[in-house]
Amino acid sequence: MATQYGPNLHLPSKEGGTPRFWEFVTRGEWQKALEEFRDFGDGFQPRRDKEANKLLEAFPYLKAPGKRSKRQETMSVAIMADSTIRG
C-alpha cells in the first residue's frame, strides 16, 4: 500500500490518501484493515487482494472476509430502507 500511496496514507481520499485503511492500521485493527483491502475500491483490486493475502499470512488468526462487500451491504440496507418508506 505504501509503495503505491507513499507518505499520503493519512490524507483524505480526495487528496490521494487512504484514511480508512490508515486509521485501521495505526489502531492495530488488522481485521478491519483486511476487510478494507478486500473491498478497497481504488481500481487496483487484484493488487489489494495480494496485499490482503500477505496480511492473512502475517496474522493467521484473522478471518477471511465473506464474499459480500461493504458496498453491497450498504446498497442492501438502502434498498430495505427505501422499501420500508414506500410501504
Q: How many residues does the chain have?
A: 87
Distance CA 80, CA 87 (A): 10
Residue in the block written with cell 493475502: 53
Contact of 8 with 17, CB cutoff 8 Å:
yes
* This prediction's pTM: 0.68
| Domain assignments of the chain as residue spans, ordered by start | 2-86
Q: Helix or strand or coil: residue 13?
A: helix
Residue in the block written with cell 472476509: 65
pLDDT of residue 66: 62
* Residue ranges, the chain, pLDDT below 50: 72, 76
pLDDT of residue 87: 55
CB atoms within 10 A of CB 80: 10
